Amino acid sequence: MFFRLPAALDTARPSAVMSANLRFSMVLLGVRNGFSAVELVIAMALMGILAAIAFTSWTRLLPTYSLNNSIRQIQSELHNIKMRAAAEGVAFQMAYSQGASAYMIKREMKTVLAKPIADGTVITKDGVISFSPQGTAGANRVRVRNVTGICKQIVVSATGRVRICAPSTCADDC
């Protein structure tokens, strides 16, 4: 079957001619634009199922992310006060309490700042970590637990080394 273009399209740009040809062939073949209501409902149901699966996985991962966030924050703060003690020539301390969701930064035993840790995490034992202007530290560890019972520790050695470890149980040291 030969299709003759209307006179207006004989002189039109090639893209207009292609567009007209495409529309005409879609009409001849019975191609329609858009989706039916049934297709939309099925697509929405599939998206809902996938969202439910993703949500349950996400809620299981959230406590672990909170614990890692708290541990990294405390580790970073310990590095920071170690450097400040050496730079300013005065002692700095980090004080924390059992069951607390915050810790305090002290400069020469005076509280300078209180910082919260991530929601869903708590410090599980009292303590103080101090840094001298020479870079040495009062060795100690900060124990942090999340709502699912997973624990991690930040260990500070007498030489001022700060590291993270994960004990097998919350009561153990690593």
> Which element (helix H / strand E) includes 46?
helix 37-88
Q: Is residue 46 part of a domain?
A: yes
Q: Is residue 29 part of a domain?
A: no
For 21, list phi and psi in degrees, rounded to 5. Answer: -60, -40
Contact 109, 128 (CB under 8 A): no
Give me the sign of the Cα torsion angle 6, 9, 14, 17.
negative
Q: What is the pLDDT of residue 18?
A: 57
For the chain, which residues score pLDDT lower than 50? none
CATH number at residue 62: 3.55.40.10
- Tokens of residue 55, six digits: 């949500």
Q: Is residue 7 part of a domain?
A: no
Q: Is residue 103 part of a domain?
A: yes
Q: Is residue 1 part of a domain?
A: no
Q: Is residue 3 part of a domain?
A: no
Q: Are strands 151-156 and 140-146 parallel, antiparallel or unpaired?
A: antiparallel
Q: Is residue 130 part of a domain?
A: yes
Return the C-alpha torsion angle 136, 140, 146, 147, nearest 10: -150
Contact 136, 85 (CB under 8 A): no
What is the domain count for the chain? 1
Strand partners, 145: 122, 151
Q: What angle do CA 56, 67, 81 make, to 5 degrees?
A: 155
Mean per-residue pLDDT of the chain: 85
Q: Which domain holds residue 143?
A: 41-165
Q: Is residue 79 part of a domain?
A: yes
